[in-house]
Amino acid sequence: MNRRSLLACAGPGAALLAFAAFPGAAFGQSDLGSPQRIRQVKAALAVTPSQEGPWSDYVEALTAYRAAVREVRAAEIDLMGGAQAIDGANDAVLQERQSERIKAKAALKASYETFYGVLDPAQQRIADATLTAGECGR
């Protein structure tokens, strides 16, 4: 069960409290890696100057993963008969993009784990409550 489902079950009061405590919890998958979301998470975590290097590596990996997901979606649309459909025999394009997405996800997970490792316990709790599985490379 995801956070939105839990918030829906708990009622509107709980949802309001959760949003006040963790503003990023209300963001959906479509916000994954958006500049606004990145700024919001950085502010919520209160990233320190000594954490900037791992944070930057994480943001770079998140941005690359977001782009790879979009490429897979574009290839799927083309394969299904989008504006300029590719023939079924040429699904190598889709497979190549899926492979790149998998690599980007692995890089995201590794960079997230490195970044998470430099967070203090309070920041880790905020990250656990705020970041989606997609933002962690899971």
How do residues 81-110 score in pLDDT, each as one tens digit?
Answer: 655 555 555 567 778 888 888 898 999 999
In a domain, 91, yes or no: yes
In a domain, 10, yes or no: no
Reading the block at residue 116, the tokens are 């998470």
In a domain, 14, yes or no: no
In a domain, 48, yes or no: yes
In a domain, 103, yes or no: yes
Distance CA 27, CA 60 (A): 20
Q: Domain range holding 132?
A: 29-136
In a domain, 6, yes or no: no
Domain count of the fold of the chain: 1
105 vs 138, higher pLDDT: 105
User: The whole model's pTM is what?
Assistant: 0.67
Distance CA 92, CA 89 (A): 8
29 confidence band (pLDDT: 50, 70, 90): very low
Asked whether 111 and 60 are in contact (CB, 8 A), the reply is: yes
